[in-house]
Amino acid sequence: MIWPLRKSPTWNEINYWALDLETSGLEPSDQILSVGMVPIRGGVIEFGAHYYSLVRPVRPQALSVEGIQAHHILPSELEAAPPLAQVLDEITQRIGRDVLVLHYGSIDLGFLRQGYKALGRRWVRPVVVDTAVLLARLGERQRQLEPHSKPYPSGLRAARARLGLPPHLEHHALWDALATAELFLALRHRLQARTLHQLI
Amino acid sequence: MNPLDFIRAHAPFNLLPAEALEQVERGLEIAFFPENSKVLARHGSKSQHLYMIRKGTARLERDGQTMMYLEEGEVFGYPSLISQDTPAFDVIAEEDLLIYRWSERVFRELMSHRPFAEFFTKGLAARLRLVTRQEGLEVTPIDLSLPVSDLVTRPPVFIARDATVQEAAKAMREHQISSILVEGNPLGILTDRDLRNRVLAEGKGPQTPLADVMSSPAKTLPASTPLFEALTFMVHQGIHHLPLEQDGRIVGVVTDTVFMRQQARSPLHLLRRLERTRNPEDLKGYSQELSGIAESLLAGGLGASEIGRSVSSLNDHLVRTLLRLAEERLGPPPTPYAWIVFGSEGRMEQALLTDQDNALVYAEETPEAQRYFAGLAGYVVGGLIQAGFPPCPGGYMATRWCKPIAEWQRLFQHWVKMPTPQELLEAQIFFDFRSVYGELSLEPLERIVASSGEESIFLAHLAKASLHFRPPIGFFRQIREEDGGVDIKKGGIAPIVSLARVHALEAGSLAKSTVERLKIAAQENKLSPEGAETLIEAFGFLMKIRLRQQLTNLRQELPPDNKIRLEQLSSLERRHLKEAFLQIREMQEAMGQRFHTDRLG
């Protein structure tokens, strides 16, 4: 771990980046089309420092109609976008030693790792807080108190609604990343997590 | 909705120019405050941010007492930011709060945009003006509240008093004008029409002395007169050219064609129509035309009180027209009389068609007079119904309220000397009476009204009656809707009207309009100047949103009512409605204490 010699820091001493990727699909053969990142510093989302970019696909001919219907990114918009190598640089530079906040992180992490490897770069898995995992934890805790209570929904939109957060524009990397960041703040409070350790 | 769309939809960010939105986005921070946590602490450290609620409700507290609730889209934290003082309230999350916020630095940058800055720095009064200005309806064709001299395009042209009509005609051709002013005292004027009607048609020659055919003294108005008043004056006087005077000299002439060109639906047209009316049947469609005029006056940027005055003077004209027709039919009255109007008509605050509130006062009681005035009242009330005025449900119409002046005196004496709460509740609108037509002097009644302020029991009862309607503000300072809306007549307009009435009567004033009454009350120290100003602004604001709502109803062929649906107001208007209600409530409480209304049965 990064903090081997001292006890885990308080949650809001850490800087986080909520991140979301839009991809052409969920298969390993699919490609990253856009990325959105929103930093959380001192427990507050600094929206002004967000990063959002489209990604020029390596194989534009492989984009599916279903994908376009879901994320509304048109192939023509992608032509002028920076290539993945450049976007990954931007991502790496921002994350540094910060913690990633993802919703169902294994998917996004899989695409990131694949992207790094395809470009022949070394992949260092960052510390990740997964809001889907936090939701499951919250659900579990609730079931211990009330065995027959309704489980927490795991989808981003439904989970936010359950926690009283407003609807957001879905299937857009930036707004999904922001939605994840807000969900993270709400969940952190519900779980009464004080240290980073309690969140990962 | 993405954050920027949300922010941009709410005040004061909707007052920012598009190019400032980038600053807003760059400076945006988003914070989460769980239920019951403190966002700001009273006497704690000063606010570091401007806050806007994205989701949830916040509670303002003072010594553990809830003062107010803030909802989605509302901003807070700025008084402390501006004054650099510690917050005046605890701000507590009533439920989980998702908050947008901007640092002090960004806030200061945004304050360089004036409309945005004004939202924070002006008092309630000025903020209400801001709402009405920013969210006025359509584009302004012509602002009728501007001074009439704004329409003057050239200096006046004079001619010597001993000139001939030919010389005058030459000068008019040379300057391309339709009228010329004649030097000397009193001032004279000669117009195109005079050359046609008084010279050519009369077979007079070019050498006719000008002085024989001109109009003198010419009717003039001060150059600072508001456009719409000048307009009414011209129609009233039947003149087409109006010389304007400033510091004892004539600065220009306006013509009615200028008005007609500026305004398709001018009160002028309706007045012309009334002048041509020969039969109550001709009055069908009057109400539609009236609302069309109100609409164009509103679009012309007039405030609700100017529109009310305009509409009321048109309706006065209507009543006079009907009375003249009635007298033609029934013959001259056996004894002098006065046709009086009261309520909103008396105060000249009519918006659109309101119920009829009228009565008849005549000098001497005889069987003949009874018969004559019953016929007269029946004719006029019937004509008003033809024109589209619904009969008054409470029955305050001249058909029922038709009495000799001695009886009216007894009635007013009774209300003033031996008031009962229920009677005053109904009778208070009589204290707004105004004579519209007739020879009879109402001085005896006016004397009673003017001295009613000396009767403390009367004032206390009147004060109590004025507390009958309360602003629909809940225990936690939220606006309460009933049957899907807020009745702003009962909740706002009526309370202000009756507050103003009590204070004006207390000051011994005969003023009738609410605004005038409030001003006089402040002059006479019956009301603080700030209190009066706040009520005046709140009154104008409430009247305006009601008028707008009623015009919308009419366009959708719904009956005009006093219900405002909150979701149809912008968030800025909602906030001001709330503040207006809160102010009214405060003033009502002050009045209750002042007159000890709680000690009355």
Contact B31 A186 (CB under 8 A): no
Candidates B342, B347, B338, B322; CA nearest to B394 is: B342
B492: pLDDT strictly greater than 60: yes
Q: Which domains does chain B have, with CATH numbers?
A: 3-121 (2.60.120.10), 148-260 (3.10.580.10), 267-415 (3.30.460.10)
Q: Regarding predicted confidence, which is higher, B80 or B332?
A: B332
Q: Which of A175, A189, A191 to mutate to test the interface with B (most CBs of B within 10 A)?
A: A189
pLDDT at B105 over 80: yes
The answer to whether A189 contacts B34, with C-beta atoms less than 8 Å apart, is yes
Minimum mean pLDDT range among A46-60, B165-179, B395-409, B558-572: B558-572
Q: Indicate yes or no: CB of B1 within 8 angstroms of CB of A163.
A: no
Task: Measure the CA–CA gap between B225 and B12, rounded to whole angstroms.
Answer: 35
- State yes or no: pLDDT of B84 exceeds 60: yes
Examine the pLDDT at B429 and tell me if it is beyond 90. Answer: no
Q: Which residue in B249, B213, B215, B252 sits closest to B230, CA to CA?
A: B252
As a whole number, mean pLDDT of residues A156-179 equals: 93
B5 contacts on A by Cβ (under 8 Å): none
Q: How far is CA B38 from the centre of its chain?
A: 43
> Who's near B122: CB < 8 A, 6+ residues apart?
B130
Q: Is the pLDDT of residue B444 over 90?
A: yes
Instruction: Please say if the pLDDT value at position B137 is more than 60.
Output: no
The CA–CA distances, whole Å, from B546 to A161, A185, B517 equal: 37, 43, 21
Q: What is the mean pLDDT of residues B484-505?
A: 92
Residue of B nearest to A163 (CA): B96
Query: Inter-chain contact B30–A181, Cβ cutoff 8 Å?
Result: yes
More confident residue, B142 or A100: A100
Q: Note the pLDDT of residue B265.
A: 61
- Compare CB distances from A47 to B3, B96, B98 and report the shortest one's residue: B3
Run of H or E residues at B245: strand B241-246
Report ipTM for this prediction. 0.89
Q: Is A171 at the interface with chain B, CB within 8 A?
A: no
Higher pLDDT, residue B171 or B299: B171
- Edge to edge, the sheet with strand B337-341 lists B402-404, B358-362, B337-341, B434-437
- CATH 3.30.420.10 applies to domain A11-199: yes
The alpha carbon of A174 is separated from its chain's Cα centroid by a whole number of angstroms, namely: 10
Residue written as token pair 């000890």:
B596
Q: Tell me the mean pLDDT in the region B556-584.
A: 83
CA distances from A92 to A37, A87, A100, A130 (A): 11, 9, 11, 19
The pLDDT of residue A1 is 46
Interval B200-249: pLDDT, tens: 888 898 899 999 999 999 999 999 887 777 877 776 677 889 999 988 88
What is the predicted pLDDT for the residue at A105? Answer: 92
Name the phi and psi angles at B242, rounded to 5: -130, 110
Q: Are B56 and A71 spatial neighbours (Cβ–Cβ below 8 Å)?
A: no
What is d(CA B9, CA A191) in angstroms, rounded to the nearest whole number? 34
Which pLDDT tens digit goes with each residue over B148-169? 887 787 889 999 999 999 999 9
Say which range, A14-23, B61-70, B72-81, B407-416, has the weakest mean pLDDT.
B61-70
Which amino acid would we find at residue B342? F
When computed from its CA atoms, the radius of gyration of chain B, rounded to whole angstroms, is 29
Distance in Å, alpha carbon of A168 to nearest chain B alpha carbon: 5
Distance of alpha carbon A115 from alpha carbon A103, whole angstroms: 19
B328 pLDDT band, cuts 50/70/90, is very high
Residue partners of A165: CB distance under 8 A and separation at least 6? A179, A182, A183, A186, B55, B98
Determine the residue among A15, A20, A45, A52 to mutate to test chain B binding: the one whose Cβ has the most chain B Cβ atoms within 10 Å: A45
pLDDT mean over B174-197? 90
> Cβ–Cβ of A182/B29 closer than 8 Å?
no
CA closest to B56 among chain A residues: A164
Contact flag B26-A48 (C-beta cutoff 8 Å): yes
Q: Which residues of B touch A45 (CB under 8 A)?
A: 29-31
Q: Averaged over B463-472, what is the pLDDT?
A: 89
DSSP for B110-131 reads HTTSHHHHHHHHS-HHHHHHHH
Measured between alpha carbons, how far is B28 from B23 in angstroms, rounded to an integer?
A: 8
